[in-house]
């Protein structure tokens, strides 16, 4: 906010390499660009959403080296050499019987209506995948606790918990 900060310091671009969804991207970014803005504005990966830009809502949740992170709180220049996964990178891809192949948790969100407006959904699913993988989905209470970094203003919490529970129980039909 200081009026005297010369723009050049923060705006000096640096060449970096980012690994996102198993693809390598070479790009020039300013040190002040967040990972979220680089994903959305530079790589056109707009699945990660911006709800607050302050690490308070979880809409921007991605995985960095297998751990959940709020992309709005990370600077892109600091993510070199890390494996970044976004909502666009978790489905196996391709089709089965003409139907798009989804990650089991994506399918479960649709089946259990764990979404309404869908704006929090990419972040919820990224957190949900981590909660399942890290073994924090043993009871509805545990799921609720570990999913509490993602706000859903539409109030789809019951469906979100049901979706995660169903994947935990091995119901992958979607």
Partner 1 sequence: MWVASRELATRWCVANSRQALSLVLDKISTLVWCLIQPMTFKNMAKKLLGDPINRVDGALKATGRARYSADIKRPGMLHGVLVMSTIANGKITAIDTADALKVPGVVNVMSHQNAPKLAGMDKNKPSEIATDRVLHVFQDDLVHYNNQPIAMVLAETLEQATEGASLVRVTYQTQPVKLPLPAGKADMSTPKQMPRVDDQVDTKRGDLAAGLAAAINRMEETYTTPTMNHNALEPHALLAYWEGDKLTMYNATQGISGCQKRVAEIFGMPKENVRVITQFLGGGFGSKGTTFSHVMLAPMAAKLTGKPVRLVLKREQMFGMVGNRSATVQRLNLATGKDGKLLATAHHSITQTSDFDEFAEPAGTITRMLYACPNLDTTHKFIRANIGTPAPMRAPGEAPGVFALESAIDEMAAQLRMDPLAFRLANYAETDPNKDKPFSSKSLRECYRQGAERFGWSKRPAQPRSLKNGNYLRGMGMATTVYPMNRGESTALVRLKPDGTVQVETATQDLGTGTFTIMTQIAAEVFGLSPDQVTLSAGDSIYPTSSVSGGSRNTASTGSAVTQAAQEVLKKARQMALKDPKSPLFNVAEAEIVVQKGGQLQQKSNPKVGEALTSLLKRNGNKPLEATVQSKQGDEKGKYSMNAFGAVFAEVEVDELLGEVRVTRLLGSFAAGRIVNLKTARSQVLGGMVWAVSMALHEKTVFDPRNNRVMNANLAEYHVPVNADIQEIDGFFIEEADDIVNPAGVKGIGEIGVVGTVSAIANAIYHATGRRFRDLPITVDKVLA
* First-last CA distance in the chain: 48
DSSP 22-58: TEEEEEEE-TT-BHHHIIIIIS--TTS--S-SSSSS-
Structure tokens at 123: 């972040």
Q: Tell me the C-alpha distance between 19 and 63, whole Å.
A: 12
Q: Tell me the C-alpha distance between 101 and 16, whole Å.
A: 32
Residue 115 sits in the site that holds partner 1 (CB under 8 A): yes
Contacting residue, 80, 118, 133, 139, with partner 1 by CB under 8 A: 118
Q: Which does 1 bind (CB under 5 to 8 A by kind): partner 1, ligand FES, none?
A: partner 1
User: Which is nearer to ligand FES, 94 or 155 (by Cβ)?
Assistant: 155
Residue 104 sits in the site that holds partner 1 (CB under 8 A): no
Residue 165 sits in the site that holds partner 1 (CB under 8 A): no
Residue 68 sits in the site that holds ligand FES (CB under 6 A): no
Q: Stretches 63-71, 75-83, 113-121, 165-173: which one binds partner 1 (CB under 8 A)? A: 113-121
Residue 27 sits in the site that holds partner 1 (CB under 8 A): no
CB of 71 to ligand FES, least distance (A): 6
Q: What count of other Cβ atoms lies within 10 Å of the Cβ of residue 135?
A: 10
Residue 158 sits in the site that holds partner 1 (CB under 8 A): yes
CB 60 within 8 A of CB 124: no
How many residues line the site for partner 1 (CB under 8 A)?
Answer: 67
């Amino acid at each position: 906010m200081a009026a005297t900060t010369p723009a050049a310091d923060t705006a000096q671009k640096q060449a970096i390499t980012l690994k996102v969804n198993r693809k390598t991207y070479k790009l020039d970014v300013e040190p002040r660009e967040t990972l979220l803005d680089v994903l959305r504005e530079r790589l056109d990966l707009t699945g990660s959403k911006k709800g607050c830009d302050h690490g308070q809502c979880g809409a921007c949740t991605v995985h960095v080296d297998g751990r959940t992170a709020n992309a709005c709180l990370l600077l892109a220049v600091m993510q070199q050499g890390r494996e970044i996964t976004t909502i666009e990178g978790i489905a196996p891809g391709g089709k089965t019987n003409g139907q798009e192949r989804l990650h089991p948790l994506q399918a479960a969100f649709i089946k259990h209506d764990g979404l309404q407006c869908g704006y929090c959904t990419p972040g919820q699913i990224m957190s949900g995948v981590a909660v399942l993988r890290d073994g924090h989905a043993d009871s509805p209470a545990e799921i609720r606790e570990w999913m509490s970094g993602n706000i859903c203003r539409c109030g789809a919490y019951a469906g979100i918990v049901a979706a995660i529970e169903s994947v935990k129980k091995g119901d992958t039909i979607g």
